Amino acid sequence: MMTTYTGAIVYDGTRLREGGLSVAGGHVADTDAGPVERLEGGWLLPGLLDLQVNGGGGHQVSGATTAADLAMMCRVHERLGTTGILPTLITDTPEATAAVLAAGVEAAAVPGFLGLHLEGPHLDPRRKGAHDPTLIRPMTDTDLNRLCEGAKALPSLLVTLAPESVTAAQIAALAAAGVVVSLGHSDCGLATAQAAFAAGASCVTHLFNAMSQLGNREPGLAGAALTGAPFCGLIADGIHVAPEAMRIAMAAAPGRLFLVSDCMAPAGTVVTEFTLGTRRILRRDGRLTLEDGTLAGADLTLPQAIRTMVERVGAAPEVAFAMATSRPAACLRRSDIGHLRPGGRADFVHLGPDFTLRGVWRAGQRVR
């Protein structure tokens, strides 16, 4: 049976349009027929996509994470408006990396599971952020082979690394194997970052955070990202990056920024603290920190990030919507998600006029 949803403006992944959204058999239809369900204003847009999800539902991605845990996280984030996620393992042991890759392969067919994001361990300890410096290390041939094999078996694999911890040949090999290579947690200069992009890196992780900053004579990784990175993730909670800096990024890199939550285990829960390895993480006033005040991920959902972009940064709604739908899809080189096209899967969300989440549909079935 076909259902047509009206009363909300549709963002289809490319543009805003009037006329409603028709769904039949779990897919977007190109004709209007059947019963009509009227929504109370706001917007309908493709299911949101988050490429940096460290946890949710009380579980942090770790070496103990199972395929069932990954499926649970997908369900938790679905109810937060995100119908596709990359569960993210931050810097850990080789054994933990191997275990998470195996769990990801087992979870490959789980609805909402887009693949994995490995943030480390091949980073620069000078820009460690909340990562454990004792686990940061250069990439070995064994690491390289494990990642290349993982990319073949997973829907997508995104790896955050610092150019200081790898070689150009390793970046090229990862890119050739299908890995989305992202630069982050790096103190590198402009020339080093540009060489990494030339070798095959195609993204920058959480722009401005845990990286060398833009200087007048040495633009650093931040400057390289704004002038040369194909894609840049952005934590738009108003805490990690000031709205003024986000406006500068929007002007410098139009069409290349996408939103990430960088959320942790508390996502979807009311817990106020948890542990990261052996360290205590506090949840206070919309932020997550180590006990010394160092930011440790974010207490953020993508609908909240969209609202920040529109209300505090001044982005047009359709630009903010693209940053959570079609742009992350393009970063993963996926044309089957991030859009509402006739014949495509009907994963979509309803945001109210105030950008709060009003409803979530997967394959045409309402799940929230």
Burial class (CB in 10 A: 0-12, 13-18, 19+), 244: exposed
Which of the following is catalytic: 92, 132, 237, 262? 262
Q: Which residues pair with 3 in a beta bridge?
A: 23
Instruction: State the CATH number of the domain containing residue 28.
Output: 2.30.40.10
* Domain shared by 319 and 351, yes or no: no
Query: Domain range for residue 38?
Result: 2-44+342-366
Do the bridges between strand 157-161 and strand 180-183 make them parallel or antiparallel, or are there none, so unpaired?
A: parallel
Q: 204 and 258 in contact (C-beta within 8 Å)? A: no
Residues of the chain with pLDDT under 70: none
Enter the pTM of the model.
Answer: 0.97
User: Is the distance from CB of 12 to CB of 20 less than 8 angstroms?
Assistant: no
| pLDDT number for residue 366 | 97
235 shares its domain with 309: yes
DSSP summary character for residue 163: G
In angstroms, rounded to a whole number, what is the distance separating the alpha carbons of residues 239 and 106?
Answer: 36
The answer to whether residues 206 and 75 belong to one domain is: yes
Domain assignment present for residue 318? The answer is yes
Give the integer Cα–Cα distance in Å for 85 and 297.
16
Q: How far apart are CA 224 and CA 255, in angstroms?
A: 16
Which tokens in the block code for residue 212? Answer: 């060398």
**b/e map 268-287, b = 16+ CB within 10 Å:** beeeeebebeeeebebeeeb
* Residue 53 and residue 30 share a domain: no
Q: In sequence order, what are the beta bridge partners of 283?
A: 288
Residues 264, 247 within the same domain: yes
Let me know whether 40 and 54 are in one domain.
Answer: no
Q: Retrieve residue 186's tokens.
A: 């790096």
Supply the pLDDT for residue 1: 82
- Whether 337 maps to a domain, the answer reads no
CATH (domain of 246): 3.20.20.140
Q: Residue 145 is encoded by which pair of tokens?
A: 């082979």
Is 166 found in the same domain as 268?
A: yes
Whether 60 is in a domain gets the answer yes
pLDDT at residue 79 in the model: 97
Of 287, 328, 275, 306, which is closest to residue 80 (Cα–Cα)?
A: 306
Cβ neighbours of residue 129 under 8 Å, at least 6 residues apart?
185, 209, 210, 294, 295, 296
Q: What is the pLDDT of residue 258?
A: 98
- Total domain count, the chain: 2
Q: What is the pLDDT of residue 33?
A: 75
Which of 19, 12, 41, 26 lies closest to 358, judged by CA?
Answer: 41
81, two tokens: 């408006």
Residue 19: per-residue pLDDT:
86
262 annotated active-site: yes
Token output for 305: 């990030």
> Is there a single domain that holds both residue 22 and residue 167?
no
Neighbours of 359 (CB within 10 A): 19
| Cα angle 144, 230, 60; round to 5 | 55
Whether residues 56 and 37 share a domain: the answer is: no
- The amino acid at residue 45 is L
Q: How many Cβ atoms sit within 10 Å of the Cβ of residue 99?
A: 18
Does 200 map to a domain?
A: yes
Looking at residue 55, its pLDDT comes to 97
Find out whether 337 and 49 touch, Cβ atoms under 8 Å. Answer: yes
- 53 and 40 in a common domain: no
Domain identity same for 142 and 208? yes
Residues 309 and 188 in one domain: yes
